Amino acid sequence: MARLIGLQAEQILKPGKQPVRIYARSLLCYWFIRELSMTAMAVSKLLGISQSAVIRAAYRGEAIVAANSLELVERQNA
């Protein structure tokens, strides 16, 4: 994630509404919920944001993933 965004993990988790942090947290929320089957409550505790903020961020993340064809894990050519 840090390679993709250009931020260190601690920078992503800091409070703030800078566009790059919002982008990164949106991807994290989407991947945590959809790919890793975490609950919004668990993600909210992990990131220190409200459950409703996690859900909104996950929807933003879904749009980002779809628009940019991103994947959580790079697939190896077989």
- List the Cα angle 21/7/16 in 5-degree steps: 25
65: CB partners within 8 A, 6+ apart: 27, 30, 71
pLDDT at residue 4, rounded to an integer: 63
Spell out the per-residue pLDDT of the chain, length 78, in tens.
556 667 777 777 777 788 888 888 999 999 999 989 999 999 999 988 999 999 999 999 999 988 887 776 655 554
Can you give the pTM of this predicted structure? 0.79
